[in-house]
Amino acid sequence: MLDALLIKLNYREVLSGEREFDLGTAYLAGALRQAGFQVEIIDASLEELTKEMLLERIISSPARLIGLSVWLHRLVGEAEQLVRELRLRGIKAHITMGSHSPTFLYRELLENNPGLDSVVCGEGEPTIVELLTALAAEREWRNIPGVASYDADRIIYKPRAACCALDELAPPALDYAPLVKERGQFMSLLTSRGCYGRCTFCSTSPFYRLGGGKAWRAHSPERVLAEFVLLHREYGFTHFGVRDDNFVGPGAQGRERAQAIAEGILREGLAISFKIACRVNDIDRDLFASLKQAGLARVFLGVESGSQRRLDGFKKGVTIKQNTEAMLLLTELGLPYTVGYIMFAPDTSWAEFRESSAFLKHALGSVEGITEAVHDMFNPVEVLPGTVIAEELSQKGLLLGDYRGFRYRFQDWRVRVFYQGLVGIRRLMAFIIKVRGVNTGGD
């Protein structure tokens, strides 16, 4: 019997080519194996497993602990269904969940799912090792810091103090690296965790600040370079997705680390390409010229809005001028970029909508490459557990739906009418495309 079976759930709407190596379960498996446990990973997303296929795999791999990585909020309901189905099929293992949404929803999950034994809150490496150690020794586990559980009609949860320096963590397990290489996809790599921003719509900063933790902390340049070298020279990867929420990090310290990584790649002579995500105020000409020389191929920028009032409402801590300058600088350097843009929030006014639309109209005519960079300019903000927006809406009685999927109404009636019309047009277009596909046999 396995000590642990770690599972990344499948989200069916992700395109096959965009399914990537999962670092969450990989780091947990690395920590557990370093502690001497026998662990297997099932990446249902990468393997594109149906629900029944996943159930069969779990049942055929008996384990003391089953850990579910609920990596998207919209997967919470599916995770609950999986727990119920596993119990119905006689699975007796300790079942736990983890990742951002379960961390902030541990009370709701435990109260509504009697088959769920625990929730691992926050960064899971030290917590899951302690939990499995206690289970293996048949010792009491409910008071382990970072573990939330339900016992005798009450929630038991003691927050864990902030996790260790990243270089102290075991390297991620590379079980699925051969499959990723076989498919010719980019390889995921993590150089930092968290983000120093405090955007009201994002759960990253609250997640990593749990237990007094730092909002952003990083692997050393030496550790990052060692992983690049290993994955390139021993596994043959040349294209990488750096999955950091914010690659550069705060201030001079963050820029110096990023510069050291670029210099290390060049010094080692690694013929690689990689993509990163950062804030617009991280864009620096000299730094990004060095990163491009080292192989930087694409940048994700969280621009979010062209209305200063909306940027301030999101607590982005940047200006429209900084947004524009960042895009122009990347264009000058010849670096492709993708823009994150949120047109609609619950309290978006008609004036803000017009400002943001005017910004895009101007940018489309003056900033080269932005047409390809903005994949969807009419995105509504997604309300996630643990965010400032979720808390504010809840306090005002404006948070609709339930913990499995929050909803809201736009407070400005003009914005509400426009968005409803936009949704209607998109549904009509999707229906027309579907009908045409059926009539032409999909050709």
Which DSSP state fits 336? Answer: -
Tell me the sheet residues that pair with 273. Answer: 239
pLDDT one-digit tens code per residue, 110-121:
999 999 999 999
Tell me the sheet residues that pair with 391. Answer: none
**Pairing state of beta strands 147-151 and 118-120?**
antiparallel
pLDDT one-digit tens code per residue, 58-88:
999 999 999 999 999 999 999 999 999 999 9
Structure-token pair, residue 328: 């122009």
Structure-token pair, residue 164: 């260790």
Question: What whole-number distance in Å separates Cα of residue 190 and Cα of residue 247?
Answer: 9
Residue bearing tokens 């060692």: 226
pLDDT one-digit tens code per residue, 137-177:
999 999 999 999 998 889 999 999 888 899 999 999 999 99
Give the domain ranges of the chain. 2-157, 186-434
Question: What whole-number distance in Å separates Cα of residue 366 and Cα of residue 380?
Answer: 25
pLDDT one-digit tens code per residue, 245-258:
999 999 999 999 99
Q: What is the pTM of this model?
A: 0.94
Residue ranges of E strands in 161-238: 187-189, 192-194, 216-218
pLDDT one-digit tens code per residue, 175-197:
999 999 999 899 999 999 999 99
| The pLDDT value given to residue 375 | 73
Give the amino acid at 436.
Answer: R
pLDDT one-digit tens code per residue, 214-238:
999 999 999 999 999 999 999 999 9
* SS3 state of residue 50: coil
Burial environment of residue 258 by CB neighbours within 10 A (0 to 12, 13 to 18, 19 or more): buried
Tell me the sheet residues that pair with 344. Answer: 380
- pLDDT more than 90, % of the chain: 86
Q: What CATH fold (topology level) applies to the domain 2-157?
A: Rossmann fold (3.40.50)
CA nearest to 308, candidates 351, 337, 278? 351
- Kindly tell me if the per-residue pLDDT of 374 is higher than 90: no
2-157 and 186-434: same fold? Answer: no
Cα-Cα-Cα-Cα dihedral sign, residues 190, 193, 198, 200: positive
Q: What CATH fold (topology level) applies to the domain 186-434?
A: Transcription Regulator spoIIAA (3.30.750)
